[in-house]
Amino acid sequence: MSKVNKVVLAYSGGLDTSVIVKWLQETYACEVVTFTADLGQGEEVEPARAKAEALGVKEIYIEDLREEFVRDYVYPMFRANAIYEGEYLLGTSIARPLIAKRLIDIANETGADAISHGATGKGNDQIRFELGAYALKPGVQVIAPWREWDLSSRESLLAYCDEHGIDVEKKKGKSPYSMDANLLHISYEGDILEDPWQEPEEDMWRWSVSPEAAPDQASYLELTFKQGDIVALNGEAMTPATVLETLNEIGGNNGIGRLDIVENRYVGMKSRGCYETPGGTIMLKAHRAIESITLDKEAAHLKDSVMPKYAELVYNGYWWSPERKALQALIDETQTYVNGVVRLKLYKGNVVVVGRQSEDTLFDESIATFEDDAGAYDQKDAEGFIKLSALRLRIAAGRGRDQG
């Protein structure tokens, strides 16, 4: 065990990380700095200060990172239309690089030689935190208590609290699910969800009504894009965090954004999780709609071809990797003319595109029309185009190759 003088802990103020503070102090005989981030999880973060002080922590960081989170992480990811394994909008994944960055920033500011987190040894988050930390400070020491201690259950953690005089809330009626929330989404794992055959209980969901209970009247919404990012809702300019917060409320009220998936974790196991991403679901639909009229065909297809790799990099924790940055540069270059307005209809869990317009549109009505195009497109040209496109197929067929 290397000597540690000071460690920066990603601290929520909950049971796990409160135990970790005391465990670090005892096991490593070191000073602990706590860092609590407000990423829009919907809970007060300031109470973490009093909890940390009660544990003897002298340096306490509590930061509102909502705007930075959406502007510098969520928005760039949505320019890529990133979805992992065809469904997951990467709500937990995209928050980890920012937390890792601030852990390292604070370590540098305070002279700490280590960082620590409360992620378990089974999940993806340990990888995301640590890959980010090593990318930003190669020599940093990372302490992951769940991979070192012999505390393996909530009961053992509570017993540790009793033994060491740690005051934690023992909430009655506490959710049986493991949850993680930020402005992009809220996730649920554990309890009955560990059986992939079991339908989630309705009272589990916190951000959205069920589609059946959503209003019978459709809601209409107009989103304004500038270089691939939403800058206004219904004509009203908004900051990135306000955009997402507003879309979460509107989408949740219309039963939008629920997801139930079994995903492949980076460590190899399959995991069943449920997610609510109302604002992100709306953003993705709208972004693809504005791209449909402003992006060149081959640029759009190239973006779609690299998207799965981009999403995998984010999911696996490689936000700070050179390959993600290279893909981001390509993606951002395509967004120069992704400007305009998308009109959506929200109805009982559905997001329907009903209009899109842009001064940078590539949609030419004079060419696309089924009416007289006044010579804008000579249909006779299509014959030669088709024959040239079919040349290799005709040659193979003429040599007797089976094309069936």
pLDDT of residue 135: 98
Residues 301-344: pLDDT tens digits? 999 999 999 999 999 999 999 999 999 999 999 999 999 999 99
Q: How far apart are CA 37 and CA 12, in angstroms?
A: 8
Question: Do 186 and 157 share a domain, yes or no?
Answer: no
User: How many domains does the chain contain in total?
Assistant: 3
Question: Do 102 and 46 share a domain, yes or no?
Answer: yes
Question: Cβ atoms within 10 A of the Cβ of 210, count?
Answer: 12
Active-site positions read 16, 96, 125, 178
pLDDT of residue 21: 95
Question: Do 383 and 270 share a domain, yes or no?
Answer: no
> What's the CATH number where 100 sits?
3.40.50.620
* Residue 269 counted as domain residue: yes
Domain boundary among 164, 191, 215: 164
Question: Do 351 and 383 share a domain, yes or no?
Answer: no
Higher pLDDT, 167 or 7: 7
Residues 190-209: pLDDT tens digits? 999 999 999 999 999 999 99
* Residue 331 counted as domain residue: no
Where do the H-state alpha helices sit in 338-380?
365-368
Question: Do 192 and 290 share a domain, yes or no?
Answer: yes
Angle between helices 15-27 and 154-164 (to 10 degrees): 60
| Contact call for residues 223 and 286 (beta carbons, < 8 A) | yes
Question: Do 147 and 276 share a domain, yes or no?
Answer: no
Residues 381-394: pLDDT tens digits? 999 999 999 999 99
* Residue 51 counted as domain residue: yes
* Residue 304 counted as domain residue: no
Range of the domain at 375: 370-398
306: exposed, middle or buried (Cβ count in 10 Å: 0-12, 13-18, 19+):
middle
pLDDT of residue 174: 63
Question: Do 343 and 283 share a domain, yes or no?
Answer: yes
Q: Look over the chain and give the mean of its residue pLDDT values, rounded to a whole number.
A: 94
> What's the CATH number where 200 sits?
3.90.1260.10
- Indicate the residue type of 394: R
The answer, yes or no, to whether residue 373 has pLDDT greater than 70, is no
| Contact call for residues 111 and 3 (beta carbons, < 8 A) | no
Question: Do 156 and 218 share a domain, yes or no?
Answer: no
Question: Do 230 and 261 share a domain, yes or no?
Answer: yes
Q: What average pLDDT does this structure show over 62-87?
A: 98
The answer, yes or no, to whether residue 42 has pLDDT greater than 90, is no
Short-list 26, 33, 25, CA closest to 7 = 33
Size (the chain), residues = 404
pLDDT of residue 218: 98
Domain boundary among 132, 164, 196: 164
* Residue 135 counted as domain residue: yes
Q: How far apart are CA 39 and CA 76, in angstroms?
A: 16
Residues 205-259: pLDDT tens digits? 999 999 999 999 999 999 999 999 999 999 999 999 999 999 999 999 999 999 9
Residues 251-307: pLDDT tens digits? 999 999 999 999 999 999 999 999 999 999 999 999 999 999 999 999 999 999 999
- Non-local CB neighbours of 276 within 8 Å, separated by 6+ positions: 185, 186, 205, 206, 207, 208, 252, 257, 258, 259
* Residue 326 counted as domain residue: no
Domain boundary among 164, 191, 220: 164
The answer, yes or no, to whether residue 134 has pLDDT greater than 60, is yes
The answer, yes or no, to whether residue 172 has pLDDT greater than 70, is no
pLDDT of residue 173: 55
The answer, yes or no, to whether residue 184 has pLDDT greater than 60, is yes
* Residue 242 counted as domain residue: yes
Question: Do 206 and 244 share a domain, yes or no?
Answer: yes
Question: Do 22 and 110 share a domain, yes or no?
Answer: yes
Q: What are phi and psi of 368, to 5 degrees?
A: -75, -15
Question: Do 266 and 211 share a domain, yes or no?
Answer: yes
* Residue 327 counted as domain residue: no
C-alpha to C-alpha distances, 219 to 35, 54, 158, 212, 350, nearest whole angstrom: 40, 48, 47, 15, 11
Instruction: Characterize the bridge pairing of strands 141-143 and 229-233.
Output: unpaired
The answer, yes or no, to whether residue 106 has pLDDT greater than 80, is yes
C-alpha to C-alpha distances, 93 to 121, 123, 316, nearest whole angstrom: 16, 11, 8
